[in-house]
Amino acid sequence: MDEKEEDVGTFDPNIPEEGPSAPPPGWLDDIHGYQGLKGGDDDNPLYPPPPAYNPQPEQNRSTSVPDVRVPSVSEDVARDALLKFVESKWNYSSKPARNLTFKDLQPITVYRYRLETYTETRASAWQFEPYNGQTVDGPQYGMSPAPWDIPVSLPQRYTDKVEKLRVPHSSFVKVCHKCKGCGRTRCTACFGRGQKRCTFCHGRGRIRNKHCTSCHGRGRKRCLSCHSHGYKTCSVCLGSQNLLHFIQLTVTWKNNVSEFIPDRQPDFPDRKFEKVSGDAFFVDESLLVYPIQGFPDQEICDVSTKLINEHLERFTATSRILQQRQSIELVPLTHAYYTYSGKDYSFFVYGLENKVFTSKYPSACSIL
């Protein structure tokens, strides 16, 4: 089907150019308790909780930890772990793992300390949606409650979640700031004219003394962006001409976790511990937990004090602390020494999953 140019509408000066996507300064009303909100993507201030909402630590309190026995693995467990590891390596032979001779199995004491602080944070920002006659919960129904006075349902403890809700009595309707209530905005591609200059002939209508076949000699073509109308439906109000503005409260629950494992084994990379579990022989949970004292590993005691103080300082400034939990895990680690074909080797078995790490294996190239 040949393209045939149609007559297009003339330029309409009453259709405004596009305004800003966000309301301009001073466009929105002030809501008591939420003054200063400007509206826009970058405006989302945090509201620190009132002092009464955050618990205060008691002085000179500490926590004691029971004694723990260091686990060890048997030769059979170590061999099975190595065989499983070798099976996951396509270029490793299983023959050394089956026929090696153990010399020594040395259990190593590895503690992992973990501190969890479960917090709630509240922030707000202006939002809007096209107004099509929906209910407007405005200031005429009462004063908006303060950010921390709005009731919410708590999620399962230590789970991250974000909930967004409208602040009661904060809504009002205003003319759309982008189209100034017209419902349409001038097309920026053709500047409201419905046509664009032909890019093939550069608007001349001819190419090498022949009619341009792209624009049929007109020098201009229909604007595909606005379908030659010269305007588009407003992308903000979607043609409704008015917007319902409201304050949206964002409540964020987050489990903030800090972990520490003393670096006592230079031949074993500590990052390997991140993917395995241990035996949590000590778990202490309360609104606030207190530093560990009297534990045989003094470094764990020191880290407990340090992290607890850091969490209190960091999170009480902007968030509400709902619960804390500290734990000590004994992460199994055994250094297995063995011989094969007259040479000495070793590998590590770690975690309750009996994972294996080795920097050198007897046969890494022959497949049997």
Q: Summarize pLDDT for 214-272 with one digit per residue, the tens.
A: 888 888 888 888 888 889 999 999 999 999 999 999 999 999 999 999 887 888 998 89
Q: Which of 208, 232, 250 is the last residue of a domain?
A: 250
Q: Which of 216, 250, 284 is the last residue of a domain?
A: 250
pLDDT of residue 351: 92
Asked if 324 and 227 sit in the same domain, the reply is no
Pairwise CA distance, residues 201 & 66, whole Å: 87
Both structure tokens of 189: 């591609």
Asked if 241 and 303 sit in the same domain, the reply is no
Q: How many domains does the chain have?
A: 2
Q: Is residue 164 in a domain?
A: yes
Which stretches in the chain have pLDDT values below 50?
A: 1-9, 365-368
Q: Is residue 81 in a domain?
A: yes
Q: Is residue 267 in a domain?
A: yes
Asked if 211 and 134 sit in the same domain, the reply is yes
pLDDT of residue 2: 39
Q: Is residue 367 in a domain?
A: no
Q: What global pTM score does this model have?
A: 0.77
Query: What is the domain range of residue 266?
Result: 75-118+251-357
pLDDT of residue 364: 53
Asked if 181 and 327 sit in the same domain, the reply is no
Asked if 315 and 264 sit in the same domain, the reply is yes
Q: Is residue 32 in a domain?
A: no
Residue closest to 243 by CA, chosen among 300, 289, 288, 178: 178
Locate the DSSP E strands across the chain.
101-107, 111-130, 161-166, 172-175, 184-186, 195-197, 206-207, 210-211, 220-222, 231-233, 242-260, 279-286, 320-330, 333-340, 343-350, 355-357
Residue closest to 8 by CA, chosen among 202, 216, 196, 189: 196
Asked if 265 and 212 sit in the same domain, the reply is no
Asked if 258 and 112 sit in the same domain, the reply is yes
Asked if 207 and 239 sit in the same domain, the reply is yes
Q: Is residue 26 in a domain?
A: no
Asked if 93 and 83 sit in the same domain, the reply is yes
Place of tokens 């070798």: 86
Asked if 225 and 235 sit in the same domain, the reply is yes
Residue closest to 254 by CA, chosen among 165, 320, 329, 326: 320
pLDDT of residue 26: 75
pLDDT of residue 282: 92
